Amino acid sequence: MGSGGKSVALENRNTGEDGRRYSPSAARNREVIGDVLADHMPVEGHILEIASGTGEHGVDFTKRFQSLRWTYSDLDELSLASQAAWVAHTKREGRLSGPLRVDASKAGWGEAERPGACDAIFCANMVHIAPFEAAEGLISGAGRLLASGGRLMLYGPFARAGVIAPSNARFSEDLKRRDESWGVRDLDHEIIPLTEKSGLTLAAVIDMPANNLSVIFEKR
List, for residues 88-138, the tens digit of each pLDDT value. 999 998 899 999 999 999 999 999 999 999 999 999 999 999 999 999 999
Please determine, for residue 31, whether its predicted confidence score (pLDDT) is greater than 50. yes
Report the alpha-carbon distance of residue 123 to residue 48 in Å, rounded: 9
Q: Which residue, 184, 141, 144, 145, is CA-closest to 164?
A: 184
Average of pLDDT values for 192-218? 98
C-beta atoms surrounding 21 within 10 Å: 21
CB count within 10 Å of CB 147 equals 11
Instruction: Give how far Cα 148 sits from Cα of 54, 70, 131, Å.
Output: 30, 19, 28
State how far the alpha carbon of 43 is from the alpha carbons of 49, 62, 129, 151, in Å.
13, 9, 27, 11
CA distance 209 to 10: 18
Tell me the pLDDT tens digit for each residue of 47-67. 999 999 999 999 999 999 999
The per-residue pLDDT for 13 is 63
Helix, strand or coil for residue 160?
strand
